[in-house]
């Protein structure tokens, strides 16, 4: 069965360290997204990609970067982790048609101390 | 600015009906989505409305009024497993999803 996975599921790091969160999907979807979810806020878009070598900034992209070298993977990098980046991070993917539903990975809980 | 409003929390009784409202103000409209999210899990898709009216899918129905910037999710014959957060999201003119903070639904026996 096709799926979308994220790793690690839990991560504790220190302020200033570089952290990379992995996202891998086997749906063969062109569109991939990274969100963060914090209490009292809706999901907020960090970065998104509509295909290989395409990346775009979302609403809250400062301090984050992504790269898309193949269809299956969209890793999210925190260049220098800050306590404000403590959050739950969700990766999602969807088919090329923008009206299609997004399928979400299980999430990564990141704590920055 | 863009804004999606939904109640923070609702309580209902097993077997009853509950309606979760969502109002929105966004730059453009390309459809409204409802997702369900159980605690500690990923959101999962429930429904998509782009035209006015009611869409029914089993025990769940979703309604949209574009002129009023309003939608609701109707859950019938509530079961304990329906205890979850329900997220409303609008696709704006840039085809990005703008998400509400979610409504936590508590089902009591």
The Cα–Cα gap between B90 and B39 comes to: 22
Q: What is the pLDDT of residues B61-91, one digit of tens each?
A: 999 999 999 999 999 999 999 999 999 999 9
Closest chain B residue to the Cα of A42, Cα to Cα: B101
For residues B44 and B40, what is the distance between their CA atoms, to the nearest angstrom? Answer: 12
In the predicted model, is pLDDT for residue B21 greater than 90? yes
- Per residue in A4-51, pLDDT (tens digit) is 999 999 999 999 999 999 999 999 999 999 999 998 888 999 999 999
Q: Do B30 and A98 lie within an 8 Å CB cutoff? A: yes
Please check the confidence at residue B32 and state whether its pLDDT lies above 90. yes
Which residues are registered as beta bridge partners of A76? Answer: A21, A66
Q: What is the mean pLDDT of residues B29-44?
A: 96
Q: What distance in Å separates the CA atoms of residue B56 and residue B33, rounded to the nearest whole number?
A: 14
Q: Is A55 exposed, middle or buried (0-12, 13-18, 19+ CB in 10 A)?
A: middle
Calculate the alpha carbon distances from A70 to A24, A99, B22 in Å: 10, 23, 37
pLDDT at B96: 86
Percent of all residues in chain A with a pLDDT value above 70, rounded to a whole number: 98
Contacting residues of A for B89, CB less than 8 Å apart = 42-43
The C-alpha of B16 sits at a distance from chain A's nearest C-alpha, in angstroms, of 27
User: Which residue in A97, A63, A105, A57 sits closest to A80, CA to CA?
Assistant: A63
Residues of A in contact with B98 (CB under 8 A): 42
């Amino acid at each position: 069965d096709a799926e979308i996975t994220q790793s690690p599921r839990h991560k504790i790091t220190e302020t200033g360290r570089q952290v990379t969160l992995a996202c891998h999907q086997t749906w063969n979807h062109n569109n991939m997204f990274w969100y963060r979810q914090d209490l009292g806020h809706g999901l907020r878009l960090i970065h998104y990609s509509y295909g290989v070598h395409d990346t775009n900034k979302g609403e809250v992209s400062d301090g984050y970067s992504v790269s898309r070298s193949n269809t299956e993977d969209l890793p999210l990098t925190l260049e220098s982790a800050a306590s404000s980046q403590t959050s739950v991070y969700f990766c999602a993917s969807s088919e090329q048609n923008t009206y299609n539903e997004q399928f979400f990975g299980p999430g990564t809980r990141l704590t920055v101390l | 600015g863009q804004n999606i409003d939904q109640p923070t929390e609702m309580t209902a009784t097993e077997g009853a009906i509950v309606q979760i409202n969502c109002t929105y103000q966004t730059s453009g409209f390309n459809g409204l989505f409802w997702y369900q999210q159980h605690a500690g899990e990923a959101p999962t898709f429930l429904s998509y409305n782009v035209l006015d009216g009611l869409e029914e899918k089993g025990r769940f129905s979703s309604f949209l009024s574009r002129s009023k910037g309003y939608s609701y999710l109707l859950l019938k014959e509530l079961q304990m497993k329906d205890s979850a957060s329900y997220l409303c999201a609008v696709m704006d003119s840039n085809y990005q999803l703008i998400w509400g903070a979610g409504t936590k639904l508590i089902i009591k026996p």
